[in-house]
């Protein structure tokens, strides 16, 4: 039987650490919540069969508890890119991962209820406000003593992981990172029909800048036989990060507000310019999860996350040959800068199986880096999402974050009121032609934002 690379190294070398760790020894069977716990009877093996038996390490050190509970809004056990790691974990350690389902809008509040009642799950998604807000409130367990960054699967991620540290604690070890937070989607078919140079050609020639982005939208609108907009979706923080400076950064463990920097000022001036020329849209029918405007040709570009591509290739509009490029480059910047996006699981405070959860986090990172296991993940993802191999490989290229100038933005990492305030300021400047303008919006609200930052930094 084939042996895969050692996954339990952290468990082997941390026996003494674990014996001294705080642990409530709570059984997952006693979890109480208004959400339903779903056992492993639900699977999609008929649609997406995944068999990881040949990769099981028969010499892996047994876990004290091989059972985990995941709390979230989707079933991670049948997600194409995660399913191989779930299967491998269960087959290696003889346990199972159960799923507690929760509605998207209730997940943060219900997690806090579970933690306060002593019923913490073992795994949850990293959220937008996990860092720095929730980490600063001790919502998550510190995994420093459970995950060994000298293991091969973590090579090249050390600096990224350190960026998410807080007061010396490391609660977040992302298994996935990409140089692209949002993709700029477009239709090759439409561009060919209108005789316009494609964004991919511009990008590959180093000519994909704010200027050509704007010029392309104008050409597309002029060529379209119907009423058309230039771009809709998420464009603000990606544009700012293309300058090389995020709206909010973390430096030496301190939160830094960059709203008054020349780089942010330049980015917002550009966004206001294309807004006033009628090129941006955020209105009924033109939200980021609306495919129709892009598919039917009433928009040149849609900017949204990677998962939107799954809808574009699966929907009846796939005949329009959708493609994507990164955000355009700031003409004043020396190189392309990319707003990074990461994803991973965190262990809520009070989990009684931190060792098992950390081992799973280790395992899913290994599945995304080991060549053989990565192939299983690739096959499962392509089947589940409907991507072609070419599309998968193009997206995977941006996971090689060492090849890109990545910029991490933390402007969504505050309390709901503050995060919404920042978001509304950006949206107003970039999508509202009657806006007072970025300088007024910034100066009106910056003291409130700085006060929040100061309080979090104490």
> What pLDDT score was predicted for residue 1?
33
Q: What CA–CA distance (Å, rounded) separates 381 from 378?
A: 5
Torsional class of 350: left (φ above 0), alpha (ψ -120 to 50), beta (otherwise): left
Q: How far from 379 is each of 334, 382, 388, CA to CA, in Å?
A: 38, 5, 10
183-339+414-457 is classed CATH 3.40.190.10: yes
> How is residue 380 written in tokens?
């499962």
> What pLDDT score was predicted for residue 316?
67
> What pLDDT score was predicted for residue 226?
86
CB 59 within 8 A of CB 364: no
Q: What CA–CA distance (Å, rounded) separates 407 from 321?
A: 30
> What pLDDT score was predicted for residue 163?
87
Residue for token digits 């509009």?
317
> Is residue 23 exposed (0-12), middle (13-18) or buried (19+ Cβ within 10 Å)?
middle
CB atoms inside a 10 Å sphere around CB 46 = 6
CB 163 within 8 A of CB 408: yes
With the C-alpha atoms ordered 313, 316, 321, 324, is the resulting torsion angle positive or negative? negative
- Topology match between the domains 9-167+346-383 and 183-339+414-457: yes
pLDDT along the chain (458 residues), means of 10: 35 28 29 43 77 94 97 94 97 96 93 96 96 92 97 94 90 96 94 96 96 98 94 97 96 90 98 98 92 91 88 73 94 95 97 98 97 97 89 92 95 95 98 97 98 88
With the C-alpha atoms ordered 424, 427, 430, 433, is the resulting torsion angle positive or negative? negative
> How is residue 251 written in tokens?
């430096």
Report domain extents, the chain: 9-167+346-383, 183-339+414-457
Q: What CA–CA distance (Å, rounded) separates 374 from 366?
A: 8
The bridge status of strand 338-339 relative to strand 406-407 is parallel
Q: What CA–CA distance (Å, rounded) separates 282 from 312?
A: 19
The SS3 call for residue 201 is: helix
> What pLDDT score was predicted for residue 13?
34
Q: Which residues contact 204 (CB under 8 A, 6 or more apart)?
A: none
CATH architecture of 9-167+346-383: 3-Layer(aba) Sandwich (3.40)
Q: What single DSSP character describes residue 348?
A: B
> How is residue 70 written in tokens?
């995941």
According to DSSP H, which parts of 94-241 are helical? 107-116, 135-136, 158-163, 188-194, 199-204, 210-223, 236-241
> What pLDDT score was predicted for residue 236?
98
> What pLDDT score was predicted for residue 44?
81
CB 148 within 8 A of CB 10: yes
According to DSSP H, which parts of 39-172 are helical? 83-93, 107-116, 135-136, 158-163
């Amino acid at each position: 039987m084939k042996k895969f690379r050692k996954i339990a190294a952290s468990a082997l070398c941390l026996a003494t650490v674990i014996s001294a760790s705080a642990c409530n020894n709570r059984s997952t069977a006693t979890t109480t919540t208004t959400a339903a716990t779903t056992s492993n009877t639900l699977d999609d093996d008929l649609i997406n069969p995944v068999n990881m038996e040949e990769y099981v390490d028969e010499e892996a050190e047994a876990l004290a508890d091989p059972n985990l509970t995941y709390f979230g809004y989707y079933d991670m056990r049948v997600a194409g890119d995660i399913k191989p790691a779930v299967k491998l974990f269960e087959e290696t350690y003889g346990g199972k991962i159960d799923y507690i389902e929760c509605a998207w809008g209730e997940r943060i509040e219900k997690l806090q209820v579970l933690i306060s009642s002593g019923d913490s799950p073992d795994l949850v998604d990293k959220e937008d406000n996990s860092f720095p807000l929730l980490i600063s409130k001790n919502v998550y367990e510190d995994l420093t003593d459970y995950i060994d960054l000298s293991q091969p699967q973590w090579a090249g991620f050390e600096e990224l992981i350190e960026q998410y540290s807080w007061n010396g604690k490391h609660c977040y070890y992302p298994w996935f990172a990409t140089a692209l937070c949002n993709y700029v989607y477009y239709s090759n078919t439409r561009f060919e029909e209108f005789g316009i140079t494609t964004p991919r050609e511009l990008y590959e020639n180093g000519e994909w800048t704010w200027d050509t982005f704007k010029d392309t939208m104008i050409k597309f609108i002029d060529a379209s036989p119907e009423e058309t907009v230039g771009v809709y979706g998420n464009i603000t923080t990606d544009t700012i990060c293309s300058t090389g400076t995020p709206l909010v950064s973390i430096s030496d463990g301190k939160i830094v507000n960059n709203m008054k920097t020349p780089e942010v000022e330049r980015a917002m001036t550009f966004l206001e310019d294309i807004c006033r020329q009628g090129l941006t849209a955020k209105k009924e029918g033109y939200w980021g999860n609306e495919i129709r405007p892009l598919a039917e040709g009433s928009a040149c570009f849609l900017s949204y996350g990677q998962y939107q591509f799954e809808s574009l290739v699966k929907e009846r509009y796939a005949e329009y040959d959708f493609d994507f490029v990164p955000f355009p480059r700031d003409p004043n910047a020396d190189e392309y800068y990319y707003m990074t996006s990461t994803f991973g699981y965190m262990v809520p405070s009070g989990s009684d199986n931190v060792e098992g959860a950390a081992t799973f986090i280790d395992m899913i990172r290994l599945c995304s880096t080991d060549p053989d296991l990565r192939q299983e993940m690739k096959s499962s993802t392509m089947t589940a999402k409907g991507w072609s191999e070419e599309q998968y490989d193009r997206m995977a290229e941006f996971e090689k974050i060492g090849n890109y100038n990545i910029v991490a933005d933390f402007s969504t990492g505050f309390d709901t009121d503050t995060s919404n305030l920042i978001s509304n300021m950006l949206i107003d400047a970039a999508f509202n032609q009657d806006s007072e303008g970025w300088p007024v919006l910034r100066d009106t609200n910056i003291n409130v934002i700085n006060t929040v930052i100061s309080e979090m930094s104490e």
